[in-house]
């Protein structure tokens, strides 16, 4: 997979989340909205690799996680995100909703409508959503 693949997946998973949310499938919508952020972060990590460079083994190994907080660190975005959140209250609020998402939600059978909508909004907001911010970084 390459950076473009991850960018495309981030957009696709968010569209799928929107469709599921509209259909009342909150569990799937919640999972896919978070997964779109994971893909976007992995696009940011892929940006660090130059064509024909041999990948750094430690960076590659750390990239194989679903933990969004860890992926922000691996993508070297932690200081950039912290700086942006100091001046952007809405992004700070949205990141607080998104950061604790876990891939383990794929096994949950009960996600509240409100919880799924909150996550989707935090990810998808055009102006201050987490995905909008990540698109500026990838």
Q: What is the mean pLDDT of residues 54-69?
A: 87
Task: State the Cα torsion 5-8-11-15 to the nearest 10°.
Answer: -110
User: Does residue 53 have a pLDDT over 90?
Assistant: no
Residue 79 has pLDDT above 90, yes or no: yes
Q: To the nearest whole number, what is the mean pLDDT of the chain? A: 94
Q: Which helix (H) or strand (E) holds 51?
A: none
pLDDT > 70: percent of the chain: 99
Q: Token pair for residue 107?
A: 């096994």
Domain 3-137 has CATH 1.20.120: yes
Hunting for tokens 């975005």 — which residue is that? 77
DSSP symbols for 94-120: HHHHHTT--GGGGG-S---HHHHHHHH
Q: Where are the domains of the chain?
A: 3-137
């Amino acid at each position: 997979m390459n950076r473009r693949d991850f960018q495309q997946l981030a957009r696709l998973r968010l569209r799928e989340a929107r469709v599921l949310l509209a259909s009342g499938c909150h569990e799937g919508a919640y999972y896919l909205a978070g997964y779109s952020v994971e893909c976007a972060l992995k696009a940011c990590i892929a940006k660090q690799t130059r064509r024909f460079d041999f990948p750094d083994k430690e960076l590659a190994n750390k990239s194989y996680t679903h933990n969004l907080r860890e992926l922000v660190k691996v993508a070297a975005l932690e200081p950039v995100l912290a700086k942006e959140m100091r001046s952007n209250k809405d992004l700070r609020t949205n990141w607080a909703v998104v950061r604790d998402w876990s891939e383990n939600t794929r096994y949950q059978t009960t996600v509240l409508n409100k919880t799924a909508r909150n996550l989707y909004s935090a990810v998808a907001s055009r102006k201050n959503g987490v995905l909008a911010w990540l698109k500026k970084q990838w």
